[in-house]
A and B are shown apart, each in its own frame.
Chain A
């Protein structure tokens, strides 16, 4: 049994049947990281001791027959989610030594479900980026080809899952940060409906857009992790009281009668030929499976990036004001005056992209510019939401590419705006608070993975899972693995 390659579902079976212990499974993951970790740089911090202790405890519970759903399963967590007693950097120098005194709600939920937390994965600083190159730590590499980006900002989580350096992982998605790296790394990435998952203990980037979600080896695992992390949390005022279904119930329903919308505008952004070819092939499979295809229109799609780059930096400029060198994080020890301490601590601690976004956001919110930028962008957000409302009267699930191109070479894009524009197909989902997923659907001629994006109406994660589970079976790609 190649333990590293197992899914949550298969490992849970093996653990329950006593074919393997959690200590063995966790040890295998740690060995895999020791052997291939430096090629991929998926982790900022490993918690070998904590993981082995949690595994021993899981084994005890398994032996006692009281195993919760994720009992003994090694899981990686993006380094933007607080883990009690385990360093949490947000991918930033300003938090290089921050040891959270509490667990994020999602982390607490993972622990309650018996998961073994292996470590904290690399990310763009404060989740701001699409290539995972905005980082003072080692830049993660795409396991399928080490000179390519794994994508961002949850790059380490996607790379760790693809490289079998964990069984599954958590990421966060503010403008595509789960779906884009999942697409680049050939794994499943799921961004739930805004409010489905608690943001308590998530280092805030853009609070009206941020959402935590799973990155997994297959669709069933995404459903299993959603089961574990969704639900109302009184500590997050935007967390919703919507009942949480058993998401695995959606997996075997077939596609008959389901209406799939193909948004015309998503196919008119200058798609790379490999993306066009693989996505169209996947769509033909869906049609053959009995789904009804409909061309739809989301006319304001092209304005998403512009609205996002006002709203997200505006929220970030406010959220990141807390890093002032007073209560936690870096402080310039030489500053002997309060305002200078704020300025120098922040300037030394933040990287260039974070400074850029703080400046954009502060500018957009500043006196005299608020109406032209923030208010206007929020109005355009309403129009984008309206587009989706109309679309979901015509279809159940929207099917499209995740990104216009496959992963690019490390260092190939340096201009901020051209980097921002790569998220043109993922950003609208966040602006509208919808659930969205990236499902591996094929490979470029150069052998890089390509994902298919599925979006559904609020709280209809089940519809996405239904389509994804069926298509995954037809495509038969889950056994294909990068060679490291």
Chain B
């Protein structure tokens, strides 16, 4: 599968990345190369094969819905690039 600069730019937008034009060109070439390699997967017949994301037969992990201690607000906000004493601050959205 070849992938052109327009496709890279479109995917970058989905991924919230801003790329320089020369980055887009470079990525298009590299990604084409990688995806061409990945196409190797089509050599394998996977008809009826279950797609797996975990090899271990673990079932879902449930717990009681109980209130537990969480981070104090001050600590949760301490790494924010901008914050007030009670909230994260972002550029105006409306």
Contacts and interface: CB of A to CB of B under 8 A. Distances in A.
Contact of A234 (B31, B54, B63, B71): B63
Contacts of A330: 81
A358 B55 contact: no
Contacts, number: 171
Interface stretch (A45-53, A141-149, A372-380): A372-380
B40 A327 contact: no
A416 interface: yes
B22 to A, nearest CB: 12
Interface of B is mostly: loop
Contact of B15 (A333, A362, A433, A458): A362
Interface residues of A, number: 76
A98 B53 CA distance: 31
B91 A336 contact: yes
A306 B12 contact: no
Given A98-B79, A303-B40, A417-B34, A379 B49 contact: yes
Nearest to A95: B79
A305 B39 CA distance: 11
A321 B34 CA distance: 22
A311 B38 CA distance: 11
Given A343-B18, A379-B49, A307 B81 contact: no
A398 to B, nearest CB: 15
A347 B71 CA distance: 29
B56 A366 contact: no
A320 to B, nearest CB: 9
Interface string B18-61: 11000100010011011101111111101001111111101011
Nearest to A307: B41
A240 B60 CA distance: 11
A352 B19 CA distance: 10
Interface size class of B (residues with CB under 8 A): 35 or more
A195 B58 contact: yes
Interface in A275-330: 300, 302-303, 305-307, 309-311, 317, 321, 324-330
15 contacts: A310-B41, A321-B16, A327-B76, A333-B81, A338-B93, A343-B16, A343-B18, A356-B27, A356-B31, A359-B11, A359-B12, A363-B3, A373-B38, A381-B52, A420-B34
Interface of B: 3, 7-8, 11-12, 14-19, 23, 27, 30-31, 33-35, 37-44, 46, 49-56, 58, 60-61, 63, 71, 75-76, 78-82, 88, 90-93
By Cβ-Cβ distance, the 10 closest A-B pairs, closest first, are A378-B51, A331-B81, A328-B79, A433-B55, A379-B46, A237-B61, A101-B75, A343-B18, A362-B15, A379-B49
